[in-house]
Structure 1
């Protein structure tokens, strides 16, 4: 069966939580450490039911299993309503198969449909695979946040990366 990319649904709550727990375990590039995620399935379901118009989560599905996602969170305030912050995660067994590209294409289409102008994210500076994916999708490094995270007892820097969706209409 082919990997499907689609919007998340409230009934995906348990599978999504399981995906996030597995990502917390198998990679040091996600924000939360193993065991730090305390949300229940019911809390996750409510959160998915309450997604706002400026929020989206796209999931990659293999059969009945969620194997990756990208989330977009936009702002409500007028001065920053034109942008969304992205978070992505793909299970290691599924990396390098074009799934990240497809997830980012889906979220970009969603953003364009809503008239967003800027997508942004952060990535640990030693996450070569993540940086390669984001660069391939048109994101550029705008700066470095020094000692932004602590991973395994060591300070880690992060890049701020962004993509402007319609540079022809840039405002000053």
Structure 2
């Protein structure tokens, strides 16, 4: 799916393709992951793992059929959304959502396109529960998740410690039992 996004200065259009993640996106995804992580605000990591580790994780997710989409501009990943299925059999109906978008592409509807595509694939794959954790000071993400159907399930006090500051984390989930296969 291609999405037309306005440039920051509203002077020209940019085409962003939201597509399933493929092995060829690995290095570009790693770069985007590292950029967002180094902002030290949104992810559970402060920098991306080494490239080889990131590629192995990504390939494992693709091979298992975990829902995974990337937003691409000019061949470069500018955002992603993925759901990683839990490993243990009694938790295999569940997955954890993770996503990130490069700063210059935020606030322009791309997050919603990514999350909608990923949730649709999760629905087709029979996920019953999709969960996530979001920093309590990330109002934009909390709003996006709410609009996508996630509900707040709880608060983890002082769950994050970055640069000498504690932050709470909000636990959110979507539960769709009609997806149950067993």
TM-score band by shorter chain is: 0.7 to 0.9
Shift, 1:169, TM fit: 7.5
How big is the shift at 1:108? Answer: 0.8
Q: Aligned residue for 1:48?
A: 58
Question: 2:68: which partner in 1?
Answer: 57
Ranges in structure 2 where 5+ consecutive residues have no aligned partner: 1-13
Number of aligned residue pairs: give it: 166
1:27 deviation in Å? Answer: 4.9
- Cα offset, 1:37, TM superposition: 3.0
Alignment of 1:64-75 (within 5 A): 64-75=75-86
Where does 1:1-172 land on structure 2 (aligned, <5 Å)?
1-33=14-46, 36-40=47-51, 42-51=52-61, 52-166=63-177
Distance in 1 between residues matched to 2:88 and 2:53, nearest whole Å: 26
CA-atom RMSD in angstroms: 1.9
CA contact (8 A) 1:54 1:73 kept: no
When the two structures are superposed, what TM-score results if normalisation uses the length of structure 2?
A: 0.83
Query: In 2 relative to 1, CA 31–76 (structure 1 residues): closer, same or farther, beyond 3 Å?
Result: closer
Q: Which runs of 4+ in 1 moved over 4 A?
A: none
